[in-house]
Amino acid sequence: MNRRSIIATLTVLVSFCNVWAQNVVTFTPGKDTVTINKHIYGHFAEHLGRCIYDGIYVGEENTTIPHTNGVRNDVIDALKNLNIPNLRWPGGCFADTYHWKDGIGPKGKRPSIVNTWWGGVTENNSFGTHDFLNMCELLGTEPYLAGNVGSGEVQELSDWVQYVNFGGKSPMSDLRRENGREKPWNVKFWGVGNEAWGCGGNMTPDYYADVYRKYATFMSDWTNTGGLFRIASGANGADYNWTETLMKKIPKNLVKGIALHHYAVIEWKKKGPSTMYTDEQYFKTMKSAWLMNELVEKHSAIMDKYDPAKEIALVVDEWGGWYEVEPGTNPGFLYQQNTMRDAMIAGMTLNIFNNHAERVRMANLAQTVNVLQAVILTEGNKMLLTPTYHVMEMYKVHQDATLIPIQLNSADFVFNGEKIPAVTASASIAKDGKTHISLVNIDPTKEQAITVDVADKKYKSINGRLLTSKKLRDFNSFDNPANIKPAVFNEAQIKNNQIALKLPPFSVVVLELN
């Protein structure tokens, strides 16, 4: 072999090694002490567009769509398969205009209201407290009730707590029994208002902190072990002063969680289409989604100053992609399709939450059915599962598993001189001893070769699942509902203490190691 050939061969070898070295996941040994709280995998159902009516709830009198007490059976089965740990209701912005007593008692006597936030449509209150809480029992999930602080009074929220949680004799528990429910539901999770900085009242952080203290004080409950899990309305994105003020002014005995809202959005005035987005719009969406990592870290750092023991959870109870509505649909209904871009957002975001599980202990994808980054879409008696659904289903192996801390060196996804990490990952050990690693490659054109160094852990076998598609803009339609679905992934190889694999462009892989 001549000198020129040797140099060419070495160049190829160095280039090959660099490709593998660009993406290296390393297990950090001896620090497996944090649990990935299952409540990170929560969902959100608001009285918005077709999420509740025509999505989850079709009414008891419906004869064309199989249901249980008006709730679609196909939706029930799909959500059960996700093992959803909690479900937030009734909002959102709707929560601070919702008066819970309008939604109890005989349905024919319930007053109608106008949903002033979402489309100006008439709300007949046929889906109320009993309907929601009974559905949660059916799903085997914990309800998360968002209380009305914006337009409601302290007594109204206090009464709601007593109505759903008190087992003894009282005015509200007697009213519950009159309406057909003997035993209380013992609801643990309560949001004290929603987006108080905006649709919840346009409050300042100092004013809201005082309002919160007042409302939380009168939310009495002696039935839940450890008391109510009260969640304060938290910051909008990077409003760090909001978090600082709440942590400084609210006593620890009154709060268990501080919320945070962040959506992956290109621009609020120009959100772009859900399916026919440009390459630039894709990059901007992913850049906005990746911002979640910075937001979680900076809000957590503020919370650490006042709560070094991490007793108060960071609750990201609204997250997901937000685009323009589908052409021809009500702009107030926020109905959008769900492509592989949404799968990228879901996989990346859940990896971020998993890796910050010491502080992030609850989150809620917005929203469950037919709204924003939904996991389910419905059309009449048809139903489909979105790419986001499949990511959530693949990742459910992390629920209540022990986090494996990792170090990640990732290649860059570069567009027009800007860059963000192409690869995100998280890992955990389930209660049955199996290790799971979730990996995401958001680069739409480049395959990513990855090495996983599992340190001192020993594994005998490895298998995996893959979610990708032929095109980035692919989605599941009612004509082709299984266009995108998980497939078997057998490309990962394990030798000694290292795993080697290649992630296809815009893909999610979850590995299981035994």
Whole-number Å distance between alpha carbons of 127 and 103 = 7
- Distances from the Cα of 62 to the Cαs of 59, 76, 229, in angstroms? 6, 16, 36
447 near 509, Cβ under 8 Å?
no
Q: Please give the structure tokens belonging to residue 119.
A: 């489309």
What angle is formed at CA 445 by the lines to CA 385 and CA 8, rounded to 5 degrees? 145
Helix (H, G, I), strand (E, B) or coil at 257: strand
| 195 annotated active-site | yes
Sheet strands (E) in 224-368: 229-236, 257-264, 313-321, 360-366
Peptide bond into 347 cis (omega under 30): no
Tell me the pairing of strands 376-379 and 360-366.
Answer: unpaired
- Across 196-212, b (16+ Cβ under 10 Å) vs e yields bbebbbebebeebbebb
Residue that has been written with the tokens 């199989």 in this structure: 66
A 10 A CB-CB count for 502 gives 16
Phi/psi region, residue 441 (left: phi>0; alpha: psi -120 to 50; beta: rest), is: beta
Task: Please count the CA atoms within 13 angstroms of the CA of 430 that sit on its side-chain side.
Answer: 14
Question: In which element (H, E) is residue 451 found?
Answer: strand 448-453
11 alpha-carbon distance from chain centroid: 45
Question: Which of 437, 440, 446, 443 has the alpha carbon at shortest distance from 499?
Answer: 437
Residue among 195, 294, 358, 491 flagged as catalytic: 195
Q: Is 318 a catalytic residue?
A: yes
Encode 17-51 in three state secondary structure: HHHHHHCEEEECCCCCCCECCHHHHEEECCCCCCC
**Contact (Cβ atoms closer than 8 angstroms) between residue 359 and residue 34:** no
State both tokens at 435: 């290790």
- 307's CB contacts (< 8 A; 6+ apart) are 247, 252
Catalytic position from the list 46, 142, 318, 358: 318
Residues marked active site are found at 195, 318
